[in-house]
Structure 1
């Protein structure tokens, strides 16, 4: 990578429109094979903003479904999380996600927090299919790119919140998890659980059934799965 290529990547993130790919600039200048960017937790909700390919999207979905993983740790600590050899990692901070990412045959993951001012927005996850070290210079570059993308991610997340508040049902984001929150609301009504516990229950049943949370959420919304009288009907 040249200095000119890095400057071009930063500039592309700063001038990106609502339809532009935010993952491409990371992939073009960093030593990784896939990239995903997600918002995480409050205040913007948890949703993938972009993914460079279907593998990155699935790896991101694993972490969002489980509510743990390197991206969550990066947001919590506000520091990069570097796992150059995931198959041999002894990280104890996210044991379930570690097992799931290993099962997906992921080699390495490097997560960088995204913040705008005092707002914790989410994280950029940089994936490598093989075990691979992340050079010190690349850490600095990835940190700068994460800072450059923050404004764009915040704008897109707020636009999604505005659409939801206005009752718009059309969603241009293929990674939208809106149905997850709709299903957890239905589950809360069925079981009497609070919103956070309802989401946790939905995640737990999806994990036990070996299904993505979004798949189970669709069944709940379609009333193919009902938690009113029992809590073991996930299938």
Structure 2
């Protein structure tokens, strides 16, 4: 098997022939896909197909604490992204903040860079390799293409994957309405997360970044997704300003409209 970590150190872009090949593969994959699906969905599926991964996700980020997964190819990909959202750690986080490809081999070894994430990720698929490739079409990272494989390396090199990620990023920049058109029940809708974050800010008087961190911590502590915690905030079942919520368990079992006075 090729040493992908070593290949990742060898350069930052494929040659003209490689670019032509990748663009051709992308065009053919999009042509074969469901043209009624949103562009982000088709681009995500194309990346998985071209690189022969077992699954993948496209994540956009306009500011460091804010992440929006616009497409996942299957349930496992969604669960990997949800883990990173809840934990605030993982290869996608580093790929975005440092603008470089991050390869994480999850195999139960003690050398994992993200021990909590790796431990939980292995519980999803067993041993797996994750490739987090930043999308930086204009030189600035706007998101991450994350792929995973349980069968071996990707079908193309890291430089080809980087070019493909940049091409996909450019396509998404040219299609700003595609994000608003997506609705994946496996991923928290960003508007609802913003609403819940604002409610926590009002309840506790903390900064938005701290409120979001609290939501993530709650999700991890309760073994829930961020979307589930968001729902408890919005419906009033969880209110951090209520004494009972903080002392009798994180999530209150009260129903909206029946709170004690």
What is the CA–CA distance in structure 2 between the aligned matches of 1:61 and 1:41, rounded to whole Å? 18
C-alpha root-mean-square deviation of aligned residues, in Å?
2.9
What is the CA–CA distance in structure 2 between the aligned matches of 1:153 and 1:97, rounded to whole Å? 28
Count of equivalent residues: 221
Secondary structure of the 2:239 match is coil
Listed as ranges, the gaps of 5+ residues in structure 2 are 1-17, 253-261
Q: In the alignment, does 2:164 pair up with 1:154?
A: no
Secondary structure of the 1:110 match is strand
TM-score (norm 1): 0.81
What is the CA–CA distance in structure 2 between the aligned matches of 1:12 and 1:121, rounded to whole Å? 25
Of residues 118, 143, 147 in structure 1, which corresponds to 2:162?
A: 143
Please identify the structure whose Cα radius of gyration is greater. 2
8 Å contact from structure 2 (residues 29, 46) kept in 1: yes
What is the CA–CA distance in structure 1 between the aligned matches of 2:103 and 2:148, rounded to whole Å? 10
Q: In the alignment, does 2:53 pair up with 1:60?
A: no
What is the CA–CA distance in structure 2 between the aligned matches of 1:82 and 1:179, rounded to whole Å? 31
Of residues 175, 178, 182 in structure 2, which corresponds to 1:172?
A: 182
What residue in structure 1 maps to residue 8 of structure 2?
none
Listed as ranges, the gaps of 5+ residues in structure 1 are 164-170
8 Å contact from structure 2 (residues 84, 117) kept in 1: yes
1:50-199 aligned within 5 A: 50-88=71-109, 90-92=111-113, 94-106=114-126, 107-130=128-151, 132-134=152-154, 137-156=156-175, 158-159=176-177, 172-174=182-184, 175=187, 176-199=189-212
TM-score (norm 2): 0.73
